[in-house]
A = this chain, B = another copy of it.
């Protein structure tokens, strides 16, 4: 009768909360508690948690439990680097079969991004940015690569609260680079050229973030470098609290 199994239900339940920030990094995921909330038993919840672990969204220790993954600065760097790689490639692969309508939509979204520059809203900008890039690689014929891109974006979501990714002033350049990429695709540039342009676009953001960071807080402390010994993890009670601030513009 039920369209989805309880383990899938549990997966979506937790996943949703990680994605939108209700479960912040470090939040402890207690099987029994989640099971009670969902009115299911612990077995499907456990299964869901293990899947999330396999995706890298939560960490897990035997007989101890799970928590939303805590990430370090280097983790952010590596994720972004990988995302630059696969997304650039996906964009290049898709460029061969992109439709005029997709190009039109991409231009339009980028135009909307440009218009937000005056009255800047990082949250909105990030949303549009995701939409823009999605359009560019949505006709990528290799589902493997697309899957890797999705993973990269998901990972970035978890990193949202790490406060590494906000760089004021980068947005304007970003819009210009978007325009450049569209231009390359329109004039039927070489796939490798498109790939590298898209990759550089992401790498530039990464560099900007790192530069901004080393400029503003030189010690550049890792967030939660030793999650087991020190305890920066919020307790079950204040999951909703620590979120809702600190938005970013990973453009």
List residues of A whose CB falls within 8 A of some B CB. 5, 7, 43, 46-47, 50-51, 54-55, 62, 78-79, 81-82, 85-86, 89, 142-145, 148, 192, 196
Query: For residue A79, which residues in chain B have a CB less than 8 angstroms away from its CB?
Result: 144
Q: Is A85 a contact partner of B86 (Cβ separation < 8 A)?
A: yes
Instruction: Tell me the bound Cα distance from A54 to B11 in angstroms.
Output: 13
Q: Tell which of B54, B85, B142 touches A51, judged by Cβ atoms closer than 8 Å.
A: B54
Chain B nearest CB, measured from A209 CB (Å): 16
Chain B nearest CB, measured from A53 CB (Å): 9
Q: Tell which of B55, B78, B142, B145 touches A54, judged by Cβ atoms closer than 8 Å.
A: B55
Q: Tell which of B50, B62, B142, B145 touches A47, judged by Cβ atoms closer than 8 Å.
A: B50
Query: For residue A43, which residues in chain B have a CB less than 8 angstroms away from its CB?
Result: 43
Q: Is A78 a contact partner of B144 (Cβ separation < 8 A)?
A: yes
Q: Is B85 a contact partner of A143 (Cβ separation < 8 A)?
A: no
Instruction: Tell me the bound Cα distance from A79 to B5 in angstroms.
Output: 30
Closest to A155 in B: B144
Chain B nearest CB, measured from A231 CB (Å): 25
Chain B nearest CB, measured from A3 CB (Å): 10
Chain B nearest CB, measured from A202 CB (Å): 13
Instruction: Tell me the bound Cα distance from A82 to B93 in angstroms.
Output: 11
Q: Is A145 a contact partner of B51 (Cβ separation < 8 A)?
A: no
Instruction: Tell me the bound Cα distance from A50 to B45 in angstroms.
Output: 13
Chain B nearest CB, measured from A48 CB (Å): 9
7 extra interface residue pairs, beta carbon distance < 8 Å, beyond A81-B144, A82-B144, A85-B85: A46-B47, A54-B54, A78-B142, A79-B144, A81-B142, A81-B145, A85-B145
Query: For residue A142, which residues in chain B have a CB less than 8 angstroms away from its CB?
Result: 78, 81-82
Query: For residue A51, which residues in chain B have a CB less than 8 angstroms away from its CB?
Result: 50-51, 54
Closest to A52 in B: B54
Most B Cβ at <10 Å: residue of A43, A78, A144, A192: A144
Chain B nearest CB, measured from A63 CB (Å): 9
Q: Tell which of B47, B54, B78, B143 touches A143, judged by Cβ atoms closer than 8 Å.
A: B78
